[in-house]
């Protein structure tokens, strides 16, 4: 009868072996932490990407609204001069509140944001200006397929005396200010353009 030979079990408990096992655990933890960070970054990028694209699109639409406001207001101004209803720009400037056209005043229009200007012109948001000399107030301009206007897109336009507060007065020119807005529900995007208008008065 053959005897089975038993070999002694290898029990390597040397300090170097324990050190290698500890290093492997640390490496695994670092790899898992890195993968977790990469996953969080990817989730953040994929969730913010569409939001950023939407904001850019809304800003472009707001600029288109300001541009549409300029086209409409400029046509109205041209027709007013052609018909003789307007002779000069004075009397058609926005002058409320006091200082809206004065660069040194806190209420100067360039010191106010688009939303502050809209709140000043139409605080109750009913499309009717609460101050005088506003050419267009929250004017709708985008039509739906059924012919109705889309209330999300508006523009506001008014004239500013660019010589207000100066000794020299020139009623033959002004600034046409147009603010386009896009209401996306939770937020509103705005864009403003300023164009200098000038006419040639008789005898000049």
Instruction: Give the model confidence (pLDDT) of 97-152 as tens digits.
Output: 888 998 889 999 999 999 999 999 999 989 999 999 999 999 999 999 999 999 99
Taking alpha carbons only, the member of 156, 193, 153 closest to residue 61 is: 153
- The residue written with tokens 């507060």 in the block is 165
> pLDDT band at 7, cuts 50/70/90?
very low
- 97: which residues sit within 8 A by CB, 6+ positions away? 107, 120, 131
Q: Which two tokens stand for residue 52?
A: 């950023």
What residue ranges do the domains of the chain occupy? 57-198
The pLDDT score that the predictor gives to residue 186 is: 78
**What pTM was computed for the model?**
0.73
The pLDDT score that the predictor gives to residue 50 is: 60
Mean of pLDDT values over 9-30 = 63
The pLDDT score that the predictor gives to residue 77 is: 94
Q: How far apart are CA 107 and CA 191, in angstroms?
A: 19
Segments of 62-124 assigned E as strands: none
Residue 63 exposed, middle or buried by CB count within 10 Å (0-12, 13-18, 19+): middle
Q: How far apart are CA 48 and CA 44, in angstroms?
A: 6
């Amino acid at each position: 009868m053959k005897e089975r030979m038993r070999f002694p079990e290898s029990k390597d408990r040397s300090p170097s072996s324990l050190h290698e096992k500890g290093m492997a655990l640390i490496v695994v933890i670092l790899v898992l932490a890195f993968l977790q960070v990469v996953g969080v970054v990817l989730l953040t990028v994929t969730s913010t990407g569409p939001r950023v694209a939407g904001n850019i699109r809304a800003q472009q639409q707001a600029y288109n609204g300001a541009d549409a406001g300029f086209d409409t207001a400029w046509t109205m101004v041209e027709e007013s001069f052609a018909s003789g209803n307007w002779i000069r720009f004075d009397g058609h400037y926005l002058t409320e509140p006091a200082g809206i056209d004065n660069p040194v005043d806190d209420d100067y229009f360039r010191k106010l944001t688009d939303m502050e200007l809209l709140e000043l012109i139409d605080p109750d948001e009913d499309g009717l200006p609460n101050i005088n000399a506003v050419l267009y107030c929250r004017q709708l301009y985008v039509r739906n397929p059924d012919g109705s206007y889309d209330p999300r897109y508006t523009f506001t336009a008014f004239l500013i005396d660019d010589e207000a507060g100066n000794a020299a007065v020139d009623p033959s020119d002004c600034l046409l200010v147009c603010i386009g807005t896009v209401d996306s529900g939770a937020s509103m995007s705005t864009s403003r353009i300023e164009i200098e208008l000038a006419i040639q008065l008789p005898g000049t």
